[in-house]
Structure 1
């Protein structure tokens, strides 16, 4: 079977998966955004790119969650406060997708996230020495799960950024949100994988999967080693840039 694989054609997709997962594992967001953007640049059709990314995320979030757990980047009390409402929100979002047009609300959500990103940049530059326990957790999990299922993304940007705004520890936030995302991704992707079966694993999907799984432990290590102030600045910059791009794509495409 391996003899039939065109490794030269596969390598660009492996590189895309590796790069996107390094960023996602270290900063707690953007695997979907970066993967889709890079795949489209390689000429993959939008529908195929989206299908491949959603399939791969189930596997990469599993490896990333295990890696963050081994590096002790997970705050388990916050994990359970996120994962249960997150899964409920994901189920509701998947169920209501056929009845609601999530694209209508997308520009408003992205504008909000741009504001959060800019605020995180300011906070990162004036990083407070005293951390605070976030008070609003369960509603973030519910909203993040719903948007991720209904709108094709939103768990990391919504949950990670808003926990950081409340003063949560950046390293523990990234690790906890990434670990909880596995259960969300598995719930949302179950129907998709069941319906498409092995047909979902195109050349691009296989490449993303290989690159993402290899990079997942490295992203968790970076989240552990990067100073909290730098981590917050990077999250703020990534959130602002990706939200600006998505806002442009959703309004002027």
Structure 2
């Protein structure tokens, strides 16, 4: 019972992050399931089954708050579903001792990308309104869907930064569209796992617990997407994913440093980098706010000067 309550809180926390940032539900949840010894394919299947419900509620919530671009949803979601089905088949046919470090390596790469992307670069806003083309969205969706199924997460970490980096759609609609299109990806990946695995290794109670937590969090996250600084949240989540998956890899047969002083030193160093990244993001976000406020003040003063000169100029 205690583990089910913990999983419900994991689902709630992961969905809060995912709904506010457009990523990390699958990556965060799968990372934790792997940490407690779950089979990689079963972990990914469990997450994707729970995501059918959470992404549906999340998508509806984002739609209600005006955070969804339906053209983007279809153009990236359908190829994403194809990629997810293929990824589920590939992961289901890998041996567990091979699949676990492979999945952790994928999650680690995604975590590093999230950490660097949001800590150092923030969000790009100078190309809003330019159209997103099918030849960009379709390959992106196919690749992101494949990574999502094989890594137990990755739809958001691949899709959200790519759309944000394009600068052609405002951040809240990037997040809402990615979360909504993930419903198609979750269905396709779940079908792939059920066809390949049946229900082997899938615990319905775990699915239900994650689903319950995610459903509670989804509408809250859709509202918070306008409130929480994505840069800070991205650094925090990225660091957590990196730390957890480095630990998994260190304890794998690939590296073999589990329960050694070297493991402790490496994890401590990563924790320090993680803390520094969060502090950096907080300071960068505050600087952005200060610069925006200064720009508004300067613009207002310039307008006031123009109005003053105009009023003082003699008529005729």
Over 3 Å counting, the alpha-carbon distance change for 1:150 and 1:234 in structure 2 is: same
Please report the TM-score for the alignment, with normalisation by the length of structure 2.
Answer: 0.64
What is the CA RMSD across the aligned residues, in angstroms? 3.2
CA distance in 2, matches of 1:203, 1:106: 24
Q: Deviations over 1:105-157 (max 9, x none)?
A: 97478447624541332222xx5553444563222111101111233221111
Is it true that 1:147 corresponds to 2:147 in the alignment?
A: yes
Consecutive unaligned residues in structure 1, runs of 5 or more: 1-5
1:74 corresponding residue in structure 2: 68
Provide the residue aligned with 1:219 in structure 2. 221
The change in CA–CA distance for 1:137 and 1:193 in structure 2 (over 3 A counts) is same
Distance (whole Å) between structure 2 residues aligned to residue 110 and residue 231 of structure 1? 20
Are 1:246 and 2:249 an aligned pair? no
1:122 to 117, 120, 123: 120
Aligned length in residues: 239
| Contact 1:120/1:233 (<8 A) preserved | yes
Q: Compared with structure 1, are the counterparts of its residues 112 and 221 closer, same or farther at alpha carbon in structure 2 (3 Å cutoff)?
A: closer
Cα pair 2:81 2:187 within 8 Å, conserved? no
Q: Is the 8 A contact 1:28 1:156 kept in 2?
A: yes
By how many angstroms is 1:184 displaced? 0.5
Name the larger-Rg structure.
2
Do the aligned partners of 1:118 and 1:240 also contact (CA within 8 Å) in 2?
A: no
**Aligned equivalent of 1:3:** none
Q: Deviations for 1:136-191, whole angstroms, at most 9, x for unmatched residues?
A: 32221111011112332211111111211222422111110000000000111024
2:277 corresponding residue in structure 1: none
| Match 1:56 to one of 50, 56, 67 | 50
The higher-RCO structure (CA 8 Å, 6+ apart) is 1
Q: In 2 relative to 1, CA 208–109 (structure 1 residues): closer, same or farther, beyond 3 Å?
A: closer
Q: Is the 8 A contact 1:55 1:193 kept in 2?
A: no
In structure 2, C-alpha distance between the alignment counterparts of 1:18 and 1:58, rounded to whole Å: 15
Instruction: Give the match for residue 306 of structure 2.
Output: none
Q: Any conservation in 2 of the 1:59–1:209 contact (CA below 8 Å)? A: yes
Structure 2 gap segments, 5+ residues each: 253-316
Please give the TM-score of this superposition, normalised by the length of structure 1: 0.78
Q: Does 1:16 align with 2:10?
A: yes
More displaced stretch, 13-22 vs 208-217: 13-22
